[in-house]
Amino acid sequence: MDEFIDILTTDGTPTGNSCLKSIAHQKGYYHATVHVWFYTSNKQLLLQKRGAQKKTYPNRWDVSVAGHVHAGESIENAAVREILEEIGLDVTKNQLRKIAVRKGERSHPNGIQDNEFYHVFLCELTKSVEELSMQEEEVDDLKLFEFNVLKSTNKKISLVPDTSEYYQFIISTIEAILG
């Protein structure tokens, strides 16, 4: 879906301008996104398998929930909205723990220039995967994985490529929370 998003400077400051997401990806404009990592008390991560029709990384396992922040929308509201849209889970802003803002710059073979500041949240998953509902046009599967799926250099699943440092940061932060 093509929606209006706010354009940011290269340091993440709002420019006061917005455009369609497709234009931002075509021109390489910086914009805000959210990443929400769901974990369980027994040290498992909820990952989503990206839909086969996705323009980037189709059929790859990815962060539990991710999406673009709409023009004029707060970061926290975007996270809550994306969670409800993608996995059908109704959470409050108070259940989210913001742990970072990261700058990402990726050029994709299909011409998409994805320059974003992703706001990273953690949230404990207290429902079973069977109680979640997938957004058909975005998500092909939801599954719990042991933390080591992100730690392993010999990946047994096809993950969206990211730096091992980012994945290590996610796991170590969750482990610190769980004690």
* Successive 10-residue mean pLDDT values, the chain, 179 residues: 94 97 97 98 95 89 95 98 97 97 93 96 97 92 89 69 86 94
pTM of the entire predicted model: 0.94
Task: Domains for the chain: give ranges and CATH numbers.
Answer: 4-178 (3.90.79.10)
- How confident is the model at residue 13, as a pLDDT? 97
- How confident is the model at residue 145, as a pLDDT? 93
- How confident is the model at residue 155, as a pLDDT? 59
Buried b (16+ CB within 10 A) or exposed e, 99-133: beebeeeeeeeeeeebbbbbbbbbbebeeebeebe
- How confident is the model at residue 19, as a pLDDT? 97
